[in-house]
Amino acid sequence: MSLPLELAFDDHALIARAATIPLPGVQPVPVMSFSPVILKGVPGRPLDLLLRVSVPAAGPPGPLPVILLSHGHGVSYNLSSLNGYAPLVQYWAARGFAVLQPTHLSSRALAVPDGTPGAPLFWRERVNDMTAILDRLDDVQAAVPFLVDRGGLDASRVAVVGHSLGAHTAAVLLGMRLKDPASDFTTDVDLRDTRIRAGILLAGIGDGNGGKDLSAFANDKCPFMRHSDYSTMAAPALVVAGADDISPHLTTRGADWHADPFRLSPAPKSLATIADAWHCLGGISGFDTKETRDDESPERIAAVQRLTTAYLRKVLCDDSKTWDTAAAAFSDAGLGTVEEK
């Protein structure tokens, strides 16, 4: 039995309306994955930096555009690591991208002791992980046996993608500034990495408004979120927010808080609001996961897969037409809305 014409071999059979979001000319291929790549001696890191590299097994010759993926801080024991986010990683790699996903020190898979400097969320160390990977792209390439045969990595075409806490990591790399809690909020932190061309923030972190818009828990455990200055995040970015992503553990506001990175940053920016979606946007960290709960939806996952792929093609492959077509189809299908500025 063959799949319906609109489904690729790696599409879930229950993606429903998301099947109408086209990616013209983008044909998926099998994926090769190598893990772990081990980067030793990363400054300020008590453990080696481990990452997974996933690439297309076939396709046009030449270096591959790079996606740096920063995981969130979910309640699962293993998915907030290099072992998570398969629905996105596999999809992107099958469509021409090299996906590099580290395990940050905040991962429950590492269980770094609370007394470690930067614990438990390691916001600065997470950013430094990504910078270290870019500093050592040649080492990453040399460590993966099949990567040179696939054309290697294109250091001139790099995007960063992050989910939840990972979206905060991505935002900092894209130019969002904050006040360092270690300096009693007197020091502005600017860790923008200009080697990163653009980014995607999935269920991102809104403005703390000096702590006024944060929950008591977030004020206590995440003081680095109190002063998020998105006015300096000038790099192109797609912000993906769940229409029903109400996060009382993080903010006193509603789901609109997660759209702040779009509303408070300068153009060019895009905002995709996924109808009915919660914080995991249908289950992007993995199918059948604990943190997704009642939000699990192959249709919503597929919408995120297709929209993000189209946007990555726009910013890394000079293919604006695919993004325009996908965004219009997403809205027409009633899956959500897209705003641009």
Going by C-alpha positions, the residue among 301, 251, 311 that lies closest to residue 277 is 301
Q: Starting at the edge strand that comes first in sequence, how are the strands of the sheet with 198-202 ordered?
A: 31-39, 49-56, 98-102, 64-70, 153-163, 198-202, 237-242, 269-274, 336-340
Model confidence pLDDT, tens digit, residues 101-112: 999 999 999 999
Predicted local distance difference test score (pLDDT) of residue 1:
43
Residue 100 has pLDDT above 80, yes or no: yes
Taking residues 97-122, what's their average pLDDT?
A: 96
Residue 95 has pLDDT above 80, yes or no: yes
Strand-pair partners of 240:
202, 272
Say whether pTM exceeds 0.95: yes
Tokens of 195: 């080697």
Model confidence pLDDT, tens digit, residues 179-201: 999 999 999 999 999 999 999 99
Question: What's the CA gap between 332 and 338, in Å, rounded?
Answer: 10
Model confidence pLDDT, tens digit, residues 2-15: 444 468 999 999 99
% pLDDT > 90, the chain: 91
Those residues whose C-beta lies under 8 Å from the C-beta of residue 116, and which sit 6 or more positions away, are 46, 105
Predicted local distance difference test score (pLDDT) of residue 203:
98
Kindly report whether the peptide bond that precedes residue 117 is cis, defined as omega within 30 degrees of 0. Answer: no
Residue 124 has pLDDT above 90, yes or no: yes
Taking residues 261-267, what's their average pLDDT?
A: 98
Model confidence pLDDT, tens digit, residues 206-236: 999 999 999 999 999 999 999 999 999 999 9
- Kind and range of the H or E run holding 66: strand 64-70
